[in-house]
Amino acid sequence: MTFGPLHGEAGRVDVAAAAGGYPVVVGSGLLDEIPRVADAVAPGRRLAVISDSTVLPLHGARVAEGLRAAGREVATFDFPAGEASKTRRSWSVLTDRMLEAGFGRDSCVVAVGGGVTTDLAGFVAATFLRGVPVLQVPTSTLAMIDASVGGKTGVDVRAGKNLVGAFHPPAAVVADVQTLETLPRSERAQGLVEAVKHGAILDERHFDTVGARLEAVLAGDAEASADVVLASVRLKAGVVARDEFEGGLRQILNFGHTVGHALEAASAYALGHGSAVAAGMLAESRIGERMGVTAQGTTERLASVLRRVVGDVEPSGTAESARSYLSSDKKARGGQARYVLLERIGKAAGEGGWSHSVPDPLVDDVLASLYFRP
């Protein structure tokens, strides 16, 4: 079901999906419009609002109260904030609590929070009684720009990040940029890295626009944030529409993530996702330059923007520990990691496929440079 313009809506993007498309609505003050959206996409369903322990009192409770005031049956479920909670155990606890509360197939999950909540609550929805709808309400830059769009859900395991999950597109996504005001500047920065990535792989003009509006977004400016989020969502939606299940083109959205996820895992997730992906993008761009795939100077151009977003990234752990996680990356084939490389800013290298094998000595050399700077 569809719904008309929401009060405070700045724009929306319709995302194609095999199970039916869904809208991503971006604007300011949209949390108060959630009951209207829920009535359209989940009529007659019991609503399970899932948030982490930080976001629940900030935004999740407000969403739940608004839904109750509109006459909906609602229960709230929370989990400890942080990447350390994105596990099968947390998934098990949440699903068990929903079952104990009497939720059935007439349920809809309302995921209110950042990227961890988006992935974890989405995975709960994907698997609860073999699948119930999820309404995504992202409250971080990362979740708005990337995690809530595209239908990927999942949890981290010992072998690496996001290795257990499911494709489960949301019924709708409602991104209220006012919620970004409650984030520290450093958290806004973590998500903005994904906007830089979208420009790097898809659209040079977007890359330059993000660089130009960077300070306004980091300062929490609502108009600038809405513009950047909408532009990034449009770019990602175009890729997802062409390759929903990551059989080919969608792999480019993982630029920086092969190395980035390994850096995250090696740090026991002490390193922020955006910082890890920023380092991963620079590493994978450097690999591309040394292989003659990526135009010379691309890495320095990337670095000139990424340093303004997250500064110089200092990975924790060791190069050896990061290296050990590469073979379990989702794009790995035959135990060998594969990497998304750039042709230049605004265009991913696609000749011979969208992910590329790289000689191990080159990977080792580039990884070592991340840990042992002169």
Catalytic residue among 197, 198, 273, 286: 273
Catalytic residue among 59, 254, 289, 323: 254
Catalytic residue among 236, 323, 330, 356: 236
359 contacts: CB under 8 Å, gap ≥ 6: none
* Tokens found for residue 59: 């935004």
Closest CA to 36 of 15, 12, 7, 78: 7
- If you count them, how many residues does the chain have? 374
Closest CA to 236 of 198, 201, 203: 198
Is 206 labeled as catalytic in the residue annotation?
Answer: no
Catalytic residue among 257, 286, 331, 338: 257
Phi, psi of 341 (to 5 degrees): -120, 155
* Tokens found for residue 172: 């709708």
User: CA-based Rg of the chain, rounded to a whole angstrom?
Assistant: 20
Is 185 labeled as catalytic in the residue annotation?
Answer: no
Is 36 labeled as catalytic in the residue annotation?
Answer: no
Catalytic residue among 12, 45, 152, 213: 152
Residue located via tokens 């265009």 = 347
Within a 10 A sphere around the Cβ of 353, how many other Cβ atoms? 11
Is 198 labeled as catalytic in the residue annotation?
Answer: no
Alpha carbon distance 88, 104 (integer Å): 21
* Tokens found for residue 220: 């929490």
Is 331 labeled as catalytic in the residue annotation?
Answer: no
Catalytic residue among 246, 264, 284, 289: 246
Instruction: Specify whether the CB–CB gap between 293 and 343 falls below 8 A.
Output: yes
Catalytic residue among 12, 86, 261, 330: 261
Is 59 labeled as catalytic in the residue annotation?
Answer: no
Is 33 labeled as catalytic in the residue annotation?
Answer: no
Residue located via tokens 């660089």 = 211
Residue type, 245: F
Catalytic residue among 198, 213, 250, 356: 250
Catalytic residue among 194, 244, 264, 289: 194
Closest CA to 173 of 136, 198, 140, 204: 136
Q: Catalytic positions, please? A: 130, 152, 194, 236, 246, 250, 254, 257, 261, 273
